[in-house]
């Protein structure tokens, strides 16, 4: 089981959790909406939001009653050591899954962007780009001695998500107004 070490600040924790939740979740939303339809997608979002709120409340009550800081230790105190090990295993598998999904996304998007930018052929190949991302991003970030230092990387990721959403929104508004002007020009 993990041993609790020196903690991080509340702000750092918030950035790290928000980055984990928003990063993976936002990437899946368009596909879900496409497959399920608009009404079902909104309904699913509401159901998941309610379940998440209930889960967060239950976790906070459990943490408050045990006065522990680790989910695995809370599970161990409330139930049994085996459940604490199971919680640690689930956290490990979740983190591995998130990392894998990010590497697949980087492997798909970066070479396509590099091709668009007319980069050299080495930078448009998937394998060198994954190795480059591993060497430049993953190894340095995973080598940090304190989790609190990840708050800066998480803040950068959240700002990138905000920029991407603002860009998409601006593009949608521009596209809508362009089509409205075209329709007004041709209508009598």
CA dihedral sign of residues 52, 90, 94, 140:
positive
> Percent of the chain at pLDDT above 70?
84
How much is the CA Rg of the chain, to the nearest whole Å?
Answer: 22
User: At residue 19, does pLDDT exceed 70?
Assistant: no
> Percent of the chain at pLDDT above 90?
5
pLDDT at 149: 77
Give the pLDDT band of residue 43 (cuts 50, 70, 90).
very high
User: At residue 182, does pLDDT exceed 80?
Assistant: no
Dist. CA 13–CA 26, nearest whole Å: 19
Dist. CA 132–CA 116, nearest whole Å: 18
User: At residue 2, does pLDDT exceed 50?
Assistant: no
Over residues 47-75, mean pLDDT: 87
Give the pLDDT band of residue 22 (cuts 50, 70, 90).
low
For residue 73, give Cα distances in angstroms to 65, 66, 69, 81, 145.
12, 9, 7, 8, 22
Q: Across the chain, what does the average pLDDT equal? A: 81
Dist. CA 22–CA 18, nearest whole Å: 6
Identify the residue whose tokens are 């990721």: 157
pLDDT at 8: 60
pLDDT at 148: 76
Residue pair 154/13 in contact by the 8 Å Cβ criterion? no
pLDDT at 5: 47
- Closest C-alpha among 16, 49, 44, 20 to residue 32: 44
Give the pLDDT band of residue 23 (cuts 50, 70, 90).
low
Please state the pTM of the whole predicted model.
0.57
Task: Indicate the range of 65-74, 120-129, 140-149 predicted with least confidence.
Answer: 140-149
Q: What is the pLDDT of residues 64-121, one digit of tens each?
A: 889 887 888 888 998 989 998 998 999 888 888 878 877 887 888 888 888 888 888 8
């Amino acid at each position: 089981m993990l041993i609790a070490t020196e903690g991080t600040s509340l702000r750092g924790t918030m950035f790290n959790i928000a980055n984990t939740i928003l990063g993976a979740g936002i990437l899946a939303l368009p596909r879900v909406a496409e497959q399920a339809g608009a009404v079902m997608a909104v309904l699913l979002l509401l159901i998941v939001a309610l379940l998440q709120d209930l889960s967060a409340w239950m976790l906070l009550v459990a943490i408050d009653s045990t006065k522990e800081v680790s989910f695995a230790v809370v599970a161990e105190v409330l139930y049994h050591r085996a459940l604490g090990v199971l919680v640690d295993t689930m956290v490990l598998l979740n983190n591995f899954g998130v990392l894998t999904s990010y590497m697949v996304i980087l492997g798909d998007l970066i070479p396509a962007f590099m091709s668009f930018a007319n980069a050299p052929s080495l930078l448009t190949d998937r394998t060198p780009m994954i190795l480059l991302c591993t060497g430049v991003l993953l190894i340095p970030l995973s080598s940090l001695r304190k989790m609190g230092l990840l708050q800066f990387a998480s803040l950068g990721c959240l700002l990138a998500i905000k920029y991407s959403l603002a860009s998409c929104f601006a593009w949608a508004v521009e596209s809508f107004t362009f089509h409205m002007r075209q329709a007004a020009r041709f209508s009598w």
